Structures are given as C-alpha cells and as structure tokens.
Amino acid sequence: MESNGNHSKLGLEGDMDLQFLLRGGDLLKVKSDSWKKTRFLQLKEDCKTVWQQSNKKFKNQKIFSLEDISSVRQGRQTEGLKKYTEPSMEDRCFSIVFTGRRKNLDLIASSKDEAKQWVRGLEKVIGSMRNLNRQQNSEHWIYTCMRKADKNGDNKMTLKEVKKFMQQINLEVDDNYAEMLFVKCDTSKSNTLEGSEIKKFYDLLTHREEVDVIFKKYGHYKEQMSAEDLLDFLQQEQREPVGLEYAHKIIEKYEVDETAKKMKQMTQDGFVMYFNHEDGSIFNSAHKDVYQDMRQPFNHYFISSSHNTYLMEDQLKGPSSTEAYIKALLKGCRCVELDCWDGANGEPVIYHGYTLTSKVLFKDVIKAIKEYSFKTSKYPVILSLENHCSVEQQKTMAHHLTSILGSALLTQPLGNHIESTFPGPEELMGRFLIKGKRLNKLAAGFNNNSTEDVDNVSEEDESAEVKENEEKSKSQKSKKIRLAKELSDLVIYCKSVHFSSFDHSKENQAFYEMASFKEGKAVNLAENSATEYIHHNMDKLSRIYPAGSRTDSSNYNPVPLWNAGCQIVALNFQTPCREMDLNQGCFLPNGKCGYKLKPEFLRNPTSQFNPANLTVGPWLQKKNLHIMVISAQQLPKLNKDKLSSIVDPLVKVEICGIKVDNAIQQTNHIDNNGFNPMWNSKFKFLVYVPELALVRFLVEDYDASSHNDFVGQYTIPFNSMQNGYRHVPLLTKRGDLIPSAALFVHIMILDAV
C-alpha cells in the first residue's frame, strides 16, 4: 500500500503537475459578488479525491471525488465567473464542473501560471483515470479502500482493519471466514498483513470462480491455454468468425505473463484481463465509431433531442442555465430547445414562460451552444425556437444567431436550387439549423422575395398549454405572433407548421415543413395510425415533446414513438430516469454521434410495417435471446457514510421494443454481497423485431419493506450485443460510468423457428 502505488498505476510517477496537486494550495472560491473566500485544495494520496479546507478551525472539511468531475474549464467559462468576476481576471480563473446537479466550483488562482497548472494537473489525472481499464480501475478502487481501512497508516492490516476493509468494498462476511482468509495470508505469523501478504489477500478476494470453470474447460485443465484453445473458445462460445491470427492478437494484447506471451499462450490472469476490456464487452466494438451511412436524407435518422434544455431541475421553479445546454450537448444531444421571451434592456431571455424558473440571456446560451456543440459529435445541431418575443427582440435574436454562430449557421439551402428531400447529416456536418416559424415558402426566400412582418399563427407549445390552465376562456386559436423577417429567413429545413391530419400534410406540407406533437397526441397516432405515421415520417420530420402537465420534468417512454419513425423525440435530459436510460442506450452505437439510421422498413415507401399489428415482412426477424446472469463485480455502496450498509443485489433484464417484445425477468437477491455476488440465473426472451429492441440490465438493492434502490444500469440496442461470455459495464442514475463495477453474463442469440 505504498503511497505512490496509484501514481505509477496512472503512469504519472514523478510528474511535476501531479506533485503540484499533491502539495495543494490556496484558491479563492467564488459564489456571488459578496461571497469570495479562500479555500485550501489538495489532491489526496489516493489520486482519486480532493480535499477542500476552509480557514475556520471548526468548519468541516469537504472531500470530493475526481470521478464526479465532468470537466475542468480554464478562464471565465461558467455563469458564476462571468457574473461575479472582472474580465481582467480571465487568465486566473478556472472552474471544476461536476456531473449531476452538484454546483460548479468556481475558483481564482493567485496567478495565470498557477491557474494553468491546476487545470493541466487535474485534466492529466482525470484523463489517466479514465484511460484505466476495468481491471486497473478495480485494483485502484480496492487499493483506495485498503488505505481507508488502514487507520494508522502503517501500511499493515490487522484482522480488525481487514474486516473494516471488507465492509468498505461492499462485502459482509462472517467473522470465521474473515479470520480464515487472514490466517491463510499471514504467512509471517505477525498478526498483520503487509507487502506480498496483502497481494495474496487481494488475489484470493478477487479470484473469479466462474472464470475458472471456463478457463479449465477450454484450457483442458492445463496451467495455460494455447492459441488454438483460445481460438476454440472464441469460435464456440463468443461465436466470432475469426482465425488463429486473431487469437494471437488477443494474447499479445491482454496476456500479462511475458513468458506465456512469447509462447503464444494465455494464463488465467490474461484471460480475466480479456474479459475486462473492450473485446470482452457485451457492446459490439464495430458499433463504437460512426459506422452507418450518414448521407441519407436528414429525416431518415433518429435524432437525440432535448426538451426545455435550459432547465437544470423542474419546469415550475428550477434554475435556467447555459450549463444545462453544455451538459446536453456533451451527451451527444443534437436538438436543443430555446423558449425565447422579451427581456430587459432589449435583450431576449430564455426561461419557461408563466413559471418561476430563472432567466438566462439568449446571447449567452448561443455562445455556449457555439462553444460546445461539436465537441462530442460533428453532426448538425437543431436549435428549436419557441418564440414569444416582440418583433424588435426577434431582430436582436437574429443578430445574435448570425454574429455568434457565423458561417456555421445555415442561412440558405445547400446547392443552387431547392431540393425535394433533405440533405444528409454528413453534408450538414458542423452546421446549425434553426427550427421555427417562417413567413413564406422556402422557394420564395431562395428567390429573395421580400416579405414584410406579418401575423402568423403560433405553433402548439408547452407555455401556451400552461397559460391555458390560467385562462381557460381564451381560445388558443386566436393567438397570433408577429414575426420578424430577419428571424424568419434563418429557418431553412425545419419550418414549424401546424399538424391537421396525415391527408392534409400529404397534400399541403413541403418536406422541410415539420410539426410538433404533444406526447398524448403522438402516442395516440403511434398506437392507432402507426402505418400512416411511419409513412408521414418517411419524408417529413416530427418533433414530440412532453405534456405540460409534467411539471416535475418527468419523461414519457420514447420507444413507441421511435417505433412509429418519429425522429425528434424530445426528453428532459435534466431528469435521471428509465426513459433517459433508454435514450442513452438507443444512441450508444454509431459513435454516440446523436444520429442513428432508422431501420430500412421505416424508410421504404412500400413498407406496410405496423408495430401494433405484426405481419410478415423484412422487420420480422424472430430471435430467441438466451441470457445467463452469472455474477457481478464491485457494485458501489449506496450508503457510503454507513460502513455496515451492504447491498443485497438483484438483476432485472428488460426488453423494450414493440409491444409484443416488451418483457422483464429478474434474478433472486443475494444478501450482503455487493463485491462478488453470483446468481447463475438463466432467462429466455422471444424477440420479433430485434432492429427496434433495446435490452436493459438493471441492478437494484433489494428491500423487503420499501422500493428497491437503484445500483446501476446499462441499456444497449439488441443488434449491438455480442454473443458469449461478456462483461456489462454499469452506469449511474445520471448515465456516468461506474469505473470498477460490472455484470458478467452469457449471451446466446438464435434464430427462432
């Protein structure tokens, strides 16, 4: 347990920036104009946590984990620093931005160089941590728990400390078992474990019996597996169509014993290493990068879309923030919503109308969008405008859009004439599209016909819905808005129109004219007019938004809407829930780029697919899915403050797709073991339309008297799963990776007769 163990694991032994963080230093913490206080920040020896201390003697010190940091931003990049510091302090400022709802830590260093070193050091350590594989993360985590249990810091462990350590790692064992393990490892008979004895203890603890069985079967009970044995395993169990050369590559990549590697053989340690890496993951690595055709018309894709993007919490009184846009865009969201209202001093603001949500300047939001839109994905971003502004402030909006976004803003159709279909995401790469009202047809704008500001019917929107509750007597049909030509002209491929009926749309709607549907109406159409809705979405775009009654910013299930070919299914990204898990799972493949090509039967005009009434067709590819949930490794403690609180895990496996495919099965729970629980539970699912199915693994902490608590989940498209023995990574409620935790499963997908 030497203190520099983690430094070398991170590849940062002797690194100057790391040494700087370990020494720590004073920084000015900024909360408001009047609240700026000195805090001492220091990276702890575990290289995983930062200690924050105030100068008040009796004030509690705070600790936060580097795993909870989303990013470190140099300069005045957050709302707080822009508001409460002078531009002259730009190069001394930096912010630590956390995942989830935790507030940013806005800081000022004493010099420009010091600020740079804090940012560089933190980014280096966080980057190194994220680059650790699951095996290294697991060792890193166990090592940290050992250090916590080693109360007197003597790098030795007594039996009492060993028992404490086991509780730290989420494992409750009886005293006899703990003592038996301890005695087995205490070869020096000193009543303490140190050095190689701790290593032995670690090896015993992390030994994987389930991997033993597989290794022995294919290694024919030998100490090492030959390349031919490994190939047999890859072909028979993993069902990979590979040759001997690939088996050699796997050995080269994962074998830890150099002698075995030279002999092209694999030890059990190397075999475990293979399972803990990308090649042993349930997610097909061929789907990791953009692999789909990105030149199809824009409306042939599902598009990751956010609703009320400006909100950090609920839509009645939560704060509006540019930070919410940044978080959504960094998660691959490609359609964000801007509710625009008249603000003070002629500057439009964004907030949820008729509510107590705070306001944020329109121009600040556009600056944040410009800065962060293409960091995760290069594909186009739609700015969905819900416009409630006066003509004058609309002109200001148009000015901000053109001046801030510059040439990235699409201001006329691609090419030199109006097409009859959308361009593809590839042609629109790096561009911003405005969705909103337009005064005239695109052709008129293209020919530069001038049109004055005119009255125009407002689209259906949530704020109108909220106001409806207050003013029942006023008819929404009479609500008109005046539209500024400058703003109207920026709407090219996403012109908002009212939806009357599919027949009306067929006769009157141009391909670039799109309707927004409230969730209730959309679900009704998807259930009762699915084939018509699918055909409508073959040459037009549809945007779906949550009902205004969802004041807690909860979400509806996006899957039935995707099944009907709807592209822009907008969800509240700020709300962690099952529906957001499904959204993240849907957009996991194709480089997490926010665009996913719809199945061919949702694009082909001859298709008669109906998700509610299945007939024979190319969509019908019946599969039997056999899943064995074998074990889990290092599940997180839910109550970190209570050492004796150990999880009782169970696993639910859920299929989400067309109605007939929806199903859920679960294991039993295992008492007091979140470290290495084993179930060996077998499930079988019949899936009729795999191209639309998602598979969700959910781990819960069983509670007999109340609702089970969420531990972790992972959602993956059916067609992105790999066969065989695989590890399933686990994500937090907010969709962030839990670095050391995983499920171990066996997957077998067979054609159903």
Binding region:
29-56, 308, 337, 339, 386, 435, 437, 516, 543, 646, 648, 672, 701-703
User: Nearest 10 degrees: CA dihedral of 541, 546, 547, 548?
Assistant: -110
User: Annotated binding residues for Ca(2+), as ranges?
Assistant: 308, 337, 339, 386, 646, 648, 672, 701-703
Beta bridge partners of 217: none
Q: What are phi and psi of 411, to 5 degrees?
A: -115, -5
Query: Angle, to 10 degrees, between the axis of helix 209-219 and the axis of helix 268-275?
Result: 120
* Residue linked to tokens 């073959």: 538
Tell me whether residue 352 is one of the annotated catalytic residues: yes
Reference 169, options 636, 630, 631, 632; nearest CA is 636
* Dihedral sign, Cα of residue 667, residue 669, residue 670, residue 676: positive
Q: State yes or no: is 307 an active-site residue.
A: yes
Compute φ and ψ for 697, nearest 5 degrees.
-100, 125
CA 398/CA 489 separation, integer angstroms = 9
Q: Provide CB contacts within 8 A for 628, sequence distance 6+.
A: 680, 681, 682, 683, 745, 746
Indicate which residue of 7, 140, 287, 352 is catalytic.
352
Pull the structure tokens for residue 505: 């749309």
Residue that is written with structure tokens 């055909």 in the block: 535
Q: What are phi and psi of 451, to 5 degrees?
A: -135, 135
Catalytic residue among 7, 287, 307, 400: 307
Q: What is the DSSP letter of 688?
A: S
Q: CB-hemisphere CA count at 13 Å for 534? A: 24
Annotated binding site for substrate: 29-56, 435, 437, 516, 543
Q: Within 10 Å of residue 428's Cβ, how many Cβ atoms?
A: 20
Which amino acid does the sequence have at 24? G
d(CA 282, CA 259): 30
First and final C-alpha spacing in the chain: 56
Token look-up 């030795």 returns: 156
Q: Which residues on adjacent β-strands are paired with residue 629? A: 681, 745
In 702-736, the DSSP E strands lie at 709-717, 724-731
Q: Are 403 and 352 in contact (CB under 8 A)?
A: no
Q: Check if the beta carbon of residue 671 is closer than 8 Å to that of residue 649.
A: no
Which CA distances in Å does 641 have to 163, 645, 649? 16, 9, 19
Query: Rounded CA gap, 581 and 547, in Å?
Result: 20
Q: Give CA–CA dist 753/747, Å, rounded.
A: 19
Q: Which residues pair with 157 in a beta bridge?
A: 193
**CA quadruple 413, 497, 606, 304: dihedral sign:** positive
- By DSSP bridging, strand 491-496 and strand 480-483 are unpaired
The b-or-e profile of 82-116 (16+ CB within 10 A means b, else e) is bebbeeebbebbbbbbbeeeeebbbbbbeeeebbb
Q: Are residues 111 and 94 in contact, defined by beta-carbon separation less than 8 angstroms?
A: no
Spatial contact of 399 and 511, defined as CB atoms under 8 Å apart: no
Amino acid (one-letter) located at 476: Q
- What residues are labeled active site? 307, 352
